Amino acid sequence: MLEPLREFKIGKPQIFAGLLLLAFLAQCLWVAGSRRFSDLEYEYMASGHQGAGRQLRVNSPATTSIVALTLRLTLALRNLA
């Protein structure tokens, strides 16, 4: 079962791909750190509505909980700073 893993070697293409992934991760963290939500965006995330009275379609029951948890965590971290 682990035989294909033993034959796998890390070469220049894999190292280059890993460096690209690290660069993309750094870019994502930089953009996420510099992006600030407006009060209206926080209200939309907390209420689960997309706008103008339209209900946001949720594919999973956990989606609303995840968004609310993320919002609460962000607000808690802002209050600490």
Q: Phi-psi region for residue 11, left (φ > 0), alpha (ψ -120 to 50) or beta? A: beta
pTM above 0.85, yes or no: no
Residue 68, burial from CB neighbour count under 10 angstroms (0-12, 13-18, 19+):
middle
The pLDDT confidence band at residue 12, using thresholds 50, 70 and 90, is very high
pLDDT (tens digit, 9 = 90+) per residue, 13-66? 999 999 999 999 999 888 878 878 788 777 777 665 554 555 555 566 677 777
44, 55 contact by CB (below 8 A): no
Structure tokens at 1: 């079962």
